[in-house]
Amino acid sequence: MAGRGRGRGRGGAMAFTAEVLGLGRGDVLPPTTSQPPPLFPPLEFRPVPLPTGDEWDYLLLLKQEFRNTMRDSPYYIKPQDKKKDIERYSDKYRMSNNSDNTIGWTPDWNRLPKELKIRVKKQGETAARSAVKAVPNLQAAKQISQKDVEVVTQRLAELEQKETEAASGDEKQEDEDEEEIDEEEYYDEEDQEEGTDYIVSYFDNGEDDVNDDDDGLDDGPIY
Amino acid sequence: MFATELDYRMSVCQIHLCSLLIKEHFGDIVEKVCTHLIQNGAKPLRVAAQETGLKIDQVRKALCVLVQHNIASFGLHKRGFVEYAASVEQVLLLVRYPRYIYCAKTLYGDAGELIVEEILQHGQMRMSTVVGRVTQRLSEGGQSVTNDHVKGKMEDLINTHFLQRVPAPPPDNNKAAFPELTISERDLYRVPASIEVTRGESDTSKRKRSTEDSDPQSSSKRLKIDSEEHAADEGILWHLNFDRFHKYLLDHEIVQAVSRRIDWNAAEVVRTMLRISELSKGLEDKTSHPISLNDTMRNLPKENNMKFGVVEQYFKLLSDDQTSIVTKVGETGGGSYTLDFQNACKALVVSTIESVVQERFGSKSFRIFKTLLLKKYLEQKQVEEFALIPAKEAKELLYKMFSEHFVTMQEIPRTPDHAPSRTFFLFTVDVSQVSRMLLERCYKSLANVISRRAFETKENKRLIEKSQRVEAIAASLQSHGADQSQTAEVEDMITPLEKNQLEKYRSKMSKLEQSELQVDSTIFTLGNFLRLESDS
Amino acid sequence: MAADNIVIKQEVTDAMNLEERILEMCKEETKGVADVYIKQQLPHIDAQQRVKAINRLLSLGKIDLVKQGSELLYRLKDPSSISKVKGVDNQERLVYQIIEEAGNKGIWIRDIRLRSNLLLTQLNKILKTLESRNLIKAVKSVGASKRKVYMLFNLEPDRSVTGGAWYSDQDFESEFVEVLNQQCYKFLQQKADLAADSKLDPILRRNQSYGSSEDVWKFIRELGISKVELAVEDIETILNTLIYDGKVEMTVSLRAGSTSSGTPGQVKLYRAIRPLTEPAGIMRVPCGVCPVFNQCYDGGTISPSTCIYMKEWMDY
């Protein structure tokens, strides 16, 4: 940071200018007592209060929403080998599994240098939908998917061990959940059947083929 | 490659801030790549991978993200390889995204807000996709809007230059190693003739569209499948014209300032002048073209019923004002006036700096500071005399501001030996230098606040996760028709103590994020001034 | 610059230069110089300043006004006027002349000694004699740590010696200055508020918010908060501090009729103003007021995560 190492230079300037300014010894300069000054000296002036009002509240809301949206978006690339214990809980609720061997969105390769093309192989049924330039729906991404409901209910069961009745109730509910939840979300039945808008593409580069990349380059993308 | 880059060199603070911002929005990998490019300049793909120690596919993906979000660009090195560069300026704008969205909301309502938000989330988007997505979101929010309405708003944003086309590759792009992206002046703000969406497999939905536009249900259904369809605006992407937004924000600042200095009517006159000058001038111009009193009169908002004589008086007040934002240049059309943006930026920046001195050093120091601002060069003794502050106190305050670089000193030796006893020491305030110094402080402060936010989140990690879990469970229970007591029981898993702590955490986060917006507003004011100044 | 067109009171140093220029002219023309001549020599100096300088020189006893035919001339005062004083010896005359040359700024005893080559005991004796005969006086100066300076008995000490109205017994009365500063502002603020509430046309409304330095002076005098007699000029000095406080702006207006201060027809008008902007956003963050800002970095002892200012601010 800029603060580092500057102190010395400034100190030097101080010694020179103190005289120039006509300061007597110890006149203004911090008194040279044997006691070290406190790390955080008391504030002489307080910060001005933050502004209030609808405009600022709304801006704050927009900011927080934008940040959360981006964090859950396919543009947010996470390392592949992220350890479980530092995984965000919300990760489970992400539509895109955008760790580094997958890509959660399809760049417009036409606009990018050839060398950026990533060899990707689509997974499962989504491969059939050779969509062009799909733009992920970030709002939808935030919604809870079916799989998540299972996780949730499972978690619920764990957390609510004491409640004996609940266990069977949940199980029964689980089946209903699969159909019901989406009525609340953007995804209607039709989409649900077809899968999601996301093209969840997995890289074909396995775990240790960092060196393969050079060869893979000329192959171009595989859709 | 980056025309907006300022002439002052990139600082450690800026780079640190950039890396925090990229990390927050795009994750660690993109951050590594971006920071590396910012720090070391343009790099070819392979070199970037090597130097960052990342896998080449990771770098590829990071670059794709950065290009998509208008942060990175590529070009051909003279030795024939493609290299990638990232723009500090563009990264720093991430803090300002909420304000762009808010701008659009103010100007074009909810549709405008969502259009800009969508485009910012994706960096670049096709009009058909934006319109579809926004219509869908608005419908879900309970508003009955049509595609045409949203499309109209987006066209408004384009026609007023808030959105512009992204440079496009040539049609026969297949052979080149990289696409030469270009856009002609003529096309920059050209709305595509059609964004009609035609469906490949079946044309049922196409027929549906004309009849059911007013039905939000069907439109939202159709939109979700637009990735399977072929849009008429294929290949035409839009992104924000940040300069235009900045111009609007600056105009807003100017209007605010005038309202504080004179009154709201005067501000209304200036706002009208700004509107008149809006599209007929370049964004970089230092003054507007002459605007006549008559023209202004005609363009005043209808609800403002100021009489001609009153408006005339306001013009007199405006041109009399010491800020010199409005200058009289002639007598035609009832008197013609120009807006001086350079003067306006200077007045705004001086006022900003003054408030910093006032709040950081107190009123007495401020008096000394302003004395120097007005009198240019003064000896210490003169400072005391003008400011009427006792010698000892004045000396202390002056020294403090000097040591923090708010005040500078010039030595005028009277003898060749430069002996201090025979040298004049003149104190002065260099507004440009103070602005640059403050800008640095702002970057560092912003980074500090973001760091603190990350720290607070880390501290409360367990609690946050627990509450997220509980919330999710409660929500899903509710959606499955669980009764109140069941959800309540789940919610009770958060103890009152934890609830309290969560509350505290959220309030802290709000404060920190609010202050990020605040610091950015200062960055904006300082940046405007420095940019205009470096042009002259 | 926002205040470029503000006319600030003439600087003291400028006035001194002017007086010296006039004195030099008088020295060159031993017969004396006419006002017209001075005017020609100093074309850029306005009448007000010229008259002021001449008046001062006259009051200091440095020049005389003599009539030559139909013409009035300014002539350098005979430096040996001391000789007219009876019973003064040569050493006393020398000391007297040295003190006389120093004018109303006075001269320090050490400088007298240096120039007269007298022993300190001798000099002290002479000074005492001259003092007792009311030819000279000792004045405590505010400038150089309150040491005494000597000047001719009938001279009004220069402001640089007394410090002007803001000094009482050579002590700067900063509280007095601040009280005046606040009261002047209050007066102008009330005027501005009244004007803003009025239903007048914009220009009239602005003009209503102005107060001349004389208006403010009257207001202060009627308040009766000053024990010493304040001149309009003194109030203008105070009003200037309000300009430097960013609370007031000044404009010079040409107005019919004359006032006691300034050139006839020229009136200094003041009015209360608000800052052009809200406090800068950066000042709403602890970093804005942080005293250890430059020592702060991630991972340091002073860092964003260890910052107690940040903590207090968030908890507040």
Block means of pLDDT (10 residues each) for chain B, length 536 residues? 43 93 95 94 93 92 94 89 94 97 96 96 94 92 89 94 92 76 87 68 37 39 46 87 93 95 93 84 77 91 87 93 92 90 94 96 96 93 89 92 94 79 88 96 96 94 89 83 78 86 94 96 95 80
Residues of B in contact with C273 (CB under 8 A): 261
Asked which of B429, B452, B469 is the last residue of a domain, the reply is B429
Q: What is the pLDDT of residues B180-223, one digit of tens each?
A: 888 888 888 888 877 776 544 443 333 333 333 333 443 443 34
> Residues B236, B101: one domain?
yes
Query: HSE on the CB side for B22, CA within 13 Å?
Result: 32
How many domains does the structure of chain B reveal? 5
Residues B236 and B120 in one domain: yes
Residues B61 and B152 in one domain: no
B221–A190 C-beta distance less than 8 A: yes
Kindly identify which residue of chain B lies nearest to residue C307, measuring between CA atoms. B452
- Contact flag A113-B82 (C-beta cutoff 8 Å): yes
Spatial CA neighbour of B227 closest among A124, A185, A139, A198 = A198
What CATH number does the domain containing B147 carry? Answer: 1.10.10.10
Chain C: closest CA distance from residue A1 (Å): 6
Q: Which of C201, C241, C246 sits opposite B313 (nearest CB)?
A: C201
Phi and psi at B231, nearest 5°, equal: -90, 150
DSSP B285: -
pLDDT at position C263 is 55
Buried b (16+ CB within 10 A) or exposed e, B375-409: beebebbbbbbbbbbbbebbbbbbbbbbbbbbbee
A164 pLDDT above the threshold of 80: no
Name the residue among B64, B126, B173 with its Cβ closest to that of A107.
B64
Q: Are A144 and A181 in contact (CB under 8 A)?
A: yes
In a domain, B219, yes or no: no
Chain A 35-94, residues with CB within 8 Å of chain C CB atoms: 39-41, 43-51
How many CA atoms within 13 Å lie on the side-chain side of B490? 25
Residue A176 is nearest to which of B55, B469, B480, comparing CB atoms?
B480
Give B519's contacts in chain C (Cβ within 8 Å).
281-282, 285, 287
User: Cβ of B160: how many Cβ atoms within 10 Å?
Assistant: 16
What's the ipTM? 0.87
Same domain, B447 and B529: yes
Residues of C with CB below 8 A from A1's CB? 296-298, 300
Whether B225 is in a domain gets the answer no
Q: Give the closest of C244, C283, C285 to B370, CB-based.
A: C244
Residue A138 C-beta-side C-alpha neighbours within 13 Å: 23
Of B402, B429, B456, which marks where a domain is finished?
A: B429
| Claim to verify: residue B20 and residue B110 sit in the same structural domain | no
Sign of dihedral through CA atoms C145, C146, C150, C153?
positive
**Shared domain check, B455 and B512:** yes
Q: With contact defined as beta carbons under 8 Å apart, do C195 and C269 qualify?
A: no
pLDDT confidence of residue A2? 39
**Is residue B216 one of the residues assigned to a domain?**
no
Nearest CA in chain A to C316: A49
Kindly state whether residues B158 and B99 are assigned to the same domain.
yes
Nearest to C289 among A3, A6, A43 (CB): A43
Question: Which pLDDT score, from 0 to 100, does residue C86 have?
Answer: 63
Taking an 8 Å cut-off on Cβ atoms, the answer to whether B313 and C278 are in contact is no
**Interface contact B512-C284, CB threshold 8 A:** no
Tell me which chain A residue has its CA closest to the CA of residue C296: A3
The one-letter amino acid code at B272 reads T
Q: What angle do CA B503, B509, B514 make, to 5 degrees?
A: 125
Query: Quick one: tokens of A53?
Result: 């009002």
Helical segments of B362-495, H only: 363-375, 380-387, 391-403, 431-459, 461-479, 484-491
Q: Do C307 and A45 count as a contact with CB atoms less than 8 A apart?
A: no
Determine the pLDDT at residue A214: 40
C-beta atoms of A1 and C296 within 8 A: yes
Asked if the structure places residue B40 within a domain, the reply is yes
Chains that touch B (3 or more CB pairs under 8 A): A, C
B224 in a domain, yes or no?
no
CA distances from C254 to B315, C50, C263, C268 (A): 21, 20, 10, 9
| pLDDT single digits (tens) A1-60 | 433 333 333 333 443 444 455 444 444 455 555 677 788 999 999 999 999 999 999 999
Whether B213 is in a domain gets the answer no
Using an 8 Å Cβ cutoff, are B530 and B432 in contact?
yes
In this structure, is residue B467 part of a structural domain?
yes
A103 vs C279, higher pLDDT: C279
Same domain, B183 and B299: no
B385 reaches C (C-beta below 8 A): yes
Helix axes A54-71, B97-122, angle to 10 degrees: 30
Report CB contact under 8 Å: A186, B13.
Answer: no
For residues B236 and B119, membership in a common domain is answered with yes
Looking at the structure, do residues B357 and B286 belong to the same domain, yes or no? no
Per the prediction, chain A carries an average pLDDT of: 57
B287 and B247 within one domain: yes
Residue ranges for chain C with pLDDT beneath 70: 1-15, 61, 78-87, 142-146, 163-164, 168-170, 255-265
Which chains form contacts with chain A, at 3 or more CB pairs under 8 Å? B, C
In a domain, B370, yes or no: yes
Q: Do B78 and B121 sit in the same domain of this protein?
A: no
* Enclosing domain of residue B166: 95-197+232-240
CA distance linking residue C174 with residue C176, whole number of Å:
5
Q: Which of B339, B373, B402 is the last residue of a domain?
A: B339
- Rounded to two decimals, the pTM is 0.74
Q: Does A125 touch chain B (CB under 8 A)?
A: no
Cβ-Cβ contacts under 8 Å, C292 against chain A: 39-41
